[in-house]
Amino acid sequence: MLMARRFYQHIVLVLLVCLAVPLLLGAEFWANKAYQQWSEKETVRMLEESPWATTLSLGGVQAGITNGDAPTNHGYRGEMETNPTISYNLQFRSAGPIREAQVRSSQLSSHYDAMSAEQKAAFDANSSKFLAAKFPDRVVVSVTFKTNVLDYESSLRTYWERQNRATLNPTVFLDAGKERLSLTDYSFKVDTFVFTFPRPKQVSPDQKIAVEFIHPRIDVIGQQRILQEFSLKKMLVNGEPAF
């Protein structure tokens, strides 16, 4: 009887291990590694394509860029693009994982491992303050634009720099379940604009959260409504949606 019980316990233990290994192997790096251990590739992925960030691309075919004969054709010349594109990178800056990725990115670019003990202490102190920030009443979303056409970059910068909360309020929203939340603040710097929304009152992991804004017409890339959804179920940290 004793041997049978031990044999049974051994079988149960083996089964539990077998079940746990696939789960561990299938877990994303942010679930089983401290952010200080993230590689550069993992850090970039967190900031560009993760449950808390994504990058979308808008494109259009440039018509007639080969029209005209040299040297009188002053089209796009060195900047000619048969498929000009504009990309927007969205990040939930109020989410812990994104803020950890920002710190890790700074560590990597600053060669943290090569710092002196004093330099590391100063870096860690600043990082701790940054990561300790709480967002109990607001959600902060940053949007960074890039393009492969220099003229487009200038046009985008001009457009987004001229915007403010009043001009954007009719078209910019954070959609969470039945709530459609309007802007409480807007800022712009260089190539990044930042939306601030009130935090939703109630959210369920089964819901999606979406950022909504209007991309302006930039030459052949027409005006269009951006509605980017994120799965709250994938944004869980310690069992709660983190955004």
pLDDT tens sequence across 65-95 = 434 333 333 344 334 556 899 999 999 999 9
Q: How far apart are CA 148 and CA 167, in angstroms?
A: 27
Q: Is 148 exposed, middle or buried (0-12, 13-18, 19+ CB in 10 A)?
A: middle
Indicate whether this model's pTM tops 0.85: no
Contact 131, 99 (CB under 8 A): yes
Break the chain into its structural domains and give their ranges.
31-59+80-241
Predicted pLDDT at 238: 87
In the predicted structure, residue 141 carries a pLDDT above the cut 80:
yes
Tell me the torsion sign for CA atoms 233, 99, 94, 87: negative
Neighbouring residues of 96: CB distance < 8 A, sequence distance ≥ 6: 131, 237, 242
Please name the helix (run of DSSP H) or strand (run of DSSP E) that holds residue 182, with its range, or none. Answer: strand 179-182
Query: 182 near 197, Cβ under 8 Å?
Result: yes
pLDDT at 62: 52
Task: Tell me which CATH homologous superfamily contains domain 31-59+80-241.
Answer: Macroglobulin (MG2) domain (2.60.40.1930)
What pLDDT is attached to residue 231?
Answer: 95
Whether 203 and 179 have beta carbons less than 8 Å apart is answered as: no
